Structure 1
Amino acid sequence: MSSGCPIELAERLARVSRRPAIELAALAALLACGLVALRPVETFAQDAGPGSLELVDPNVFRACGDPRNLPFSNDKGEGFENKLAELFAAKLGKKLSYTYFPQATGFVRMTLGSYRCDIIMGFPQGDDQAQVTVPYYRTTYALVVKRGSGLEDVATIDDPRLKDKRIGIVAKTPPSTAMALNGLLAKAKSYPLFIDTRADSSAQAMIEDLARGEIDCGILWGPMAGYYASHADPPLVVVPLTRETAGPPMTFRIGMAVRPADQEWKRTLNQLILDNQAEINKLLISYNIPILDEANVPITGETLSKRP
């Protein structure tokens, strides 16, 4: 499992969120490593279709992932990123292999950067550690509350109803800045960002505390919020924080990461995303991931069924 947001992903989101708004807008318009030395990728290349000159083994879809980071991935192949890798490998007629490494600092360098794999299945736009494909989903941080709490329609962190509430927050994530701006940290319960995902999960701990009444609500990265809230008993309510006007951005576009030089591989993946967006949306929704269109309107199974 992971914290409210995988360590390296949270660092990337925080870094991106601190960039000037005009730079973020430009990045949005364009849309995370090996302990042994490896030979240059060209040494391994074979003539096996688009992107083959950039891939260590062009017959294998070599993905990077965290071994304990649901709902994204795990070493049992149960995450939505695992399922998406299976889909893309099948579409390309390739075998699938995974290189697993905890999503802590250095994840990109120890996986993609060391040619142990060729793609990171989830990576935010606006980070320059790798080259990013077009986005395949857009999501946001979200408030998680109990049904009947009177907080089900809270849409912003500055809502007066949160003033006296005990709010769970993962330290050093973008919402913690917004909470500080609104004077909400005094009664907050902070959960660590830097944890060993093999043993701990700040997201799961937060959801358990909410169920026991030790906190009144929690704020988590959208995919974590949706997944863990749906597995609570009874299920919890997830409110995407899409109306924030102060503090760092809460909403991010997520694509896939490849090495900076892998231009043809990136083009191949871009086309796969565009051709299979409807199936990707259905997969994300099946994991209760809160996904948004460009107008911040939630994309649900019901809205998908109404689309041509």
Structure 2
Amino acid sequence: MKQTLIAALLCALGTGAQAAGTLKVCAADNEMPYANERGEGFEDRIAEKLAAAMDMKLERVGFSDARYVVRDLLDKGKCDVMIGVDAGDPRVATTRAYYRSSYVFVTRADFGQDITGWDSPAMQSAHIGVVPGTPAETMLVQIGRYPDSFRYMMSLGGNRAPRNRYVRYDTEKLIRDLAAGEIDVAVAWAPSVARYIRSAAVPLKVTTVPAQAHKSNGEAVNFHYDTSIAVRRDDTALLGRIEAALAESRSDIEAVLRAEGIQPLPPAPVAEAHKDGKG
């Protein structure tokens, strides 16, 4: 009996040591350009750099429905880390931001009209494409362009209504349609379209959306946000290790962002609320 107990303890210790050397990252199976099950997204590459800096083996824990990742995977211990989370997300503990970015206005280079804000004259006549559920959709309502943009917005999700189900919106299609002349202006979270802009069939012009716009009631709508790495709210030990690894791998992560075509903004002077959605 005693020998059996000792053997069981040794087995448990061995398992714990193996687990301690593995970084279990929640990763989308089909959410490009961020991640996919083949590890082709830029957040997949950031996870690799992070694991290397921590001298840990990377294990991807895949998911298909982003709505339940925290509840069903992170909080239940099935994975330990989430890449690309809004800084300050109240559901989790987040690191210092490892990059800051913005939404962008994208047009064909030959469009012939400058768009610098939501009040630019071209925004009243151009065919505009945005991702549903983002601050850009909010501003379409404010400038009176939501009804005539609705059908196109739904096409980005395969015309599937998001009620009671997760809908993936295709930002590659957004840029492809822009290049083909099916829309005149695309408004999107810059990291979600950077690679598609670089590979577009025609030259495109990219303009940073101003940091804030306002609704008719004066409420601010933010377009610049910080991105962090997240762990469970009570996992302060792992959070500290990741903070150290981020500092160590900073140049590697910046290289990943540059390769993706992402040009980070300067750090925010103060913390901001998390964004409505990257899109």
With the shorter chain as reference, the TM-score category is 0.7 to 0.9
Matches within 5 A, 1:128-143: 128-143=90-105
Of 283, 288, 295, the match for 2:261: 288
Distance in 2, matches of 1:104 and 1:295, equals: 27
Partner of residue 74, structure 2: 112
CA contact (8 A) 1:165 1:187 kept: no
Partner of residue 132, structure 2: 171
The answer as to 2:36 corresponding to 1:74 is: yes
**CA deviations over 1:115-150 (Å, ceiling 9, x no partner):** 111100110023211111111011111112111212
Distance in 2, matches of 1:46 and 1:264, equals: 19
Of 43, 49, 54, the match for 1:87: 49
Tell me the amino acid that sits aligned with residue 231 of structure 2.
V
Distance in 2, matches of 1:118 and 1:65, equals: 11
Partner of residue 210, structure 2: 242
Give the CA deviation at 1:215.
1.0
Partner of residue 57, structure 1: 19
Give the CA deviation at 1:171.
1.8
Give the CA deviation at 1:78.
1.3
Tell me the amino acid that sits aligned with residue 204 of structure 1.
E
The answer as to 2:94 corresponding to 1:145 is: no
CA contact (8 A) 1:45 1:58 kept: no
Partner of residue 218, structure 1: 186
Tell me the amino acid that sits aligned with residue 117 of structure 1.
C
Worse-superposed segment, 207-216 or 166-175: 207-216
**CA deviations over 1:169-205 (Å, ceiling 9, x no partner):** 12221111122212222432323564867xx643122
Distance in 2, matches of 1:103 and 1:149, equals: 37
Tell me the amino acid that sits aligned with residue 55 of structure 2.
G
CA contact (8 A) 2:172 2:193 kept: no
CA contact (8 A) 1:144 1:225 kept: no
User: Match of 1:257, SS?
Assistant: strand
> Structure 1's 291 and 91: CA in aligned 2 closer, same or farther, altered over 3 A?
same
Give the CA deviation at 1:101.
0.2
The answer as to 2:172 corresponding to 1:204 is: yes
Partner of residue 181, structure 1: 142
C-alpha RMSD of the superposition: 2.5
Q: How many residues align?
A: 244
Distance in 1, matches of 2:42 and 2:13, equals: 29
User: Match of 1:278, SS?
Assistant: helix
The answer as to 2:201 corresponding to 1:233 is: yes
Distance in 1, matches of 2:105 and 2:65, equals: 23
> Structure 1's 131 and 91: CA in aligned 2 closer, same or farther, altered over 3 A?
same
Of 268, 276, 280, the match for 2:249: 276
User: Match of 1:254, SS?
Assistant: strand
Tell me the amino acid that sits aligned with residue 184 of structure 1.
R
CA contact (8 A) 2:49 2:252 kept: no
> Structure 1's 103 and 147: CA in aligned 2 closer, same or farther, altered over 3 A?
farther
Quote the sequence identity (%).
27
Distance in 2, matches of 1:147 and 1:111, equals: 43
Give the CA deviation at 1:283.
1.0
CA contact (8 A) 1:62 1:119 kept: yes
User: Match of 2:146, SS?
Assistant: coil
Give the CA deviation at 1:266.
0.4
User: Match of 1:99, SS?
Assistant: strand
Runs of 4+ in 1 over 3 A off after TM superposition: 43-48, 191-197
Distance in 2, matches of 1:97 and 1:62, equals: 5
Distance in 1, matches of 2:211 and 2:66, equals: 30
Q: Structure 2: state its 5+ residue gaps.
A: 1-11, 215-219, 270-279
Distance in 1, matches of 2:14 and 2:97, equals: 27
Distance in 2, matches of 1:233 and 1:62, equals: 38
The answer as to 2:277 corresponding to 1:267 is: no
User: Match of 1:63, SS?
Assistant: strand
Q: TM-score, normalised by structure 1?
A: 0.72
User: Match of 2:179, SS?
Assistant: helix
User: Match of 1:114, SS?
Assistant: coil
